[in-house]
A and B are shown apart, each in its own frame.
Chain A
Amino acid sequence: KAGVTQTPRYLIKTRGQQVTLSCSPISGHRSVSWYQQTPGQGLQFLFEYFSETQRNKGNFPGRFSGRQFSNSRSEMNVSTLELGDSALYLCASSFGLEQETQYFGPGTRLLVL
């Protein structure tokens, strides 16, 4: 079974631009969660989608948004990029119940210059 895939793997943007990251979950998984990983803040929860609905949201500004499609693929968008948005963005998928394991993709490393 194929794992979680994320595209692109690496991205360089400049301040003020916007970016869209993509995540394809494991087949059959309906929940997709997004996390931001930085050396200073560690792993921070961004949001979670289940069956195309945002079910949970972390404490990030409105510049961070996401969506999920009917095939469970998810995208996250960051508008008006800031230097502090430089991070590894990780996507995780699961069947969606609380006790289910989340399986992570390799991440997208975003560098904002």
Chain B
Amino acid sequence: AQSVAQPEDQVNVAEGNPLTVKCTYSVSGNPYLFWYVQYPNRGLQFLLKYITGDNLVKGSYGFEAEFNKSQTSFHLKKPSALVSDSALYFCAVRDGATNAGKSTFGDGTTLTVKP
């Protein structure tokens, strides 16, 4: 079975400060990890993914994430937050050995960036 945990329902940061949104996962095979962002009344927009290779993954809009196999984590980061980054963020995992097409999502973290 595969699972994802986003331990924080809400993250608040000031504009210009660095931000981190946490994610931990559990899979039986190799993990394929994804971050998505959702704005109100919209679908999910893909930010970045880790499949294999370099543990630091760079994605859209200045976001990056670090894969840590020993801690089974895939935290989303950005060096300098913008007010426009305020949204709902989802971490997702897919088991590399099975479950093609089935992603398991965390419960989401609401990021609020204050001016």
What is A's interface to B at a CB cutoff of 8 Å?
Answer: 4, 31, 33, 35, 42-43, 45, 48-50, 55-56, 58, 90, 92, 94, 96-99, 101-107, 109
Contact = CB atoms under 8 A, between A and B. Distances in A.
Nearest to B29: A98
A99 B44 contact: no
Contacts of A107: 42-43
Given A42-B105, A42-B107, A43-B90, A104 B43 contact: yes
Contacts of B104: 45
A48 B102 contact: yes
A42 B92 CA distance: 12
Q: Which secondary structure dominates where chain A touches chain B?
A: strand
Interface stretch (B13-21, B75-83, B93-101): B93-101
B45 A31 contact: no
Contacts of B96: 98-99
